[in-house]
Amino acid sequence: MANNILGYLGKPASSLLASSPFMSWKFKKTIDDDLPEIRINYVSKPNNFSITSDIDDKIDCIFIEADNLDRDLWHIPFSSSRNGVLSSFGTPSKSGAARTDPILGEYGPWDRFDEADHSIHIEYQPHADRIRRVTLMRADAVP
């Protein structure tokens, strides 16, 4: 289950950034120092991929947008329906309905699958039965 990419959670951001295919991607690094805890962000906009790390630069979240994930990083294509995801992962630990935020716009329904050391959060498209975004989180980073 996404073992290759899940293995980066808790590791230094430099380990992911120096590995294939990420080492050929351009990332913009920013630091959020106005939050209760400092967050370091690495964003590769052209690849719809980003990571956040803690003050020690250890990865706590990986964000992967639809239509941009190599099959060797993830075994479920973004074209999967919600039922397809549930067939692969089983019963979610938590789920949410589609909603509209007055500032952020529309969000599709979502499912979260919790394991001992990580969680996988899958958000679906608001008006299509397919994956929009996958968020991988260390267990201690789950909201």
pLDDT in tens, 119-138: 999 999 988 888 999 999 99
Task: Please tell me whether the overall predicted TM-score, pTM, comes out greater than 0.85 for this model.
Answer: yes
Which regions of 45-109 does DSSP assign to beta strands (E)?
Answer: 49-53, 59-65, 94-96, 99-101, 105-107
pLDDT in tens, 28-71: 999 998 878 899 999 999 988 999 999 999 999 999 988 655 54
Domains and CATH numbers, the chain: 3-141 (3.40.33.10)
The confidence score (pLDDT) of residue 69 equals 54
CA distance 79 to 21: 21
